[in-house]
Amino acid sequence: MTDPTDAINAHGAAVAPREGAHRARAPIPWWLCAAAVLLVAGCAAQAPSASLTRFDLGPPTIPAASAKGGANAAATTAAATHATHSAAAPSPDVVAAAGQRLSPLKVVVNAPSWLDVDTIYYRLPASDGDQARGYANSRWLASPARLFGDRLRAALSVDRPVLAAGDPSAAPALRVELEEFAQYFDNASTSRGVVQIRATLFDGPKLLAQTTLRAQAPAARADAAGGTRALAAASDAVQTQLIQWLAGRVPVPSAMTATHAPASSRGLPATSPAAGVPAQ
């Protein structure tokens, strides 16, 4: 583009050269341009990765109480956690012999859409709105449903074979709905990890029992690192409660049923998306 001063001179106007214009068009030192390019490139490449921290629940742990010795503890745990059961006492064909490998169990873990992401949630006191908020620079390594489910399967597999939901083998099925998984703040310096689940046990299309379990653990720090460790401890506690609750309730698949029943006879029944209960 032509400079305005050059255009006037082309028409014969007597215009004195402007010293400032020549200074403005002086070349910029090469080292200054190179430094600017490196600075911009460095900021663009490093900022996103340096500002995000990933957490998980840590390595799997063996539950403090396993199903082998939990028949007597099941009633105590249910009363302590105010669990509600929708089935009568276990039938005579349940697992009762201690020291034996327990019967197989199909396990599936679901969660609402807001827990099916990698956000680490925390809740402020009710006086501040009691809203679920997410940490800006910290994330789970996977969704809470995936992390909790992997940890639960590892805990259950100590005492019994754990099968996938679509496994063709004849086995009872356990569906776990993750209802709460967040760090609760009581004040600026005190918080706790809270985990709540709803567990439903099926034998094919038959509903055997259902319960709601909840556990919490104090956080050593009032940040994402403290919250994730507290949620790991709360997960272990609620899974121990679940194993105790299962004791004596999982029926033993008979050899006749396992041999002659259709592959889908003991699979998870179809569910209503909204309620998570057997479809009618």
| Res. 191 pLDDT band, cuts 50 70 90 | very high
pLDDT of the residue at 102? 87
Structure tokens at 109: 């873990």
- CB contact set of 193 (below 8 Å; sequence gap of 6+): 182, 183, 184, 216, 217, 219, 227, 228, 229, 230, 231, 232, 233, 234
What confidence tens digit (pLDDT) does each residue in 146-188 have?
999 999 999 999 999 999 888 888 899 999 999 999 999 999 8
Handedness of CA 120, 124, 125, 127 (dihedral sign): negative
Q: Is the pLDDT of residue 229 over 60?
A: yes
pTM of the model: 0.65
Strand partners, 174: 107, 201
pLDDT of the residue at 65? 54
- Cβ contact 242:176 at 8 Å: yes
What confidence tens digit (pLDDT) does each residue in 15-70 have?
344 444 444 455 555 544 444 433 444 443 444 456 899 999 998 877 655 544 44
Q: Please give the backbone phi and psi of residue 65, each rounded to the nearest 5 degrees, phi first.
A: -125, 120
* CA 85/CA 2 separation, integer angstroms: 86
- Cβ contact 108:165 at 8 Å: yes
pLDDT of the residue at 169? 86
Strand partners, 213: 197
* CA 232/CA 151 separation, integer angstroms: 9
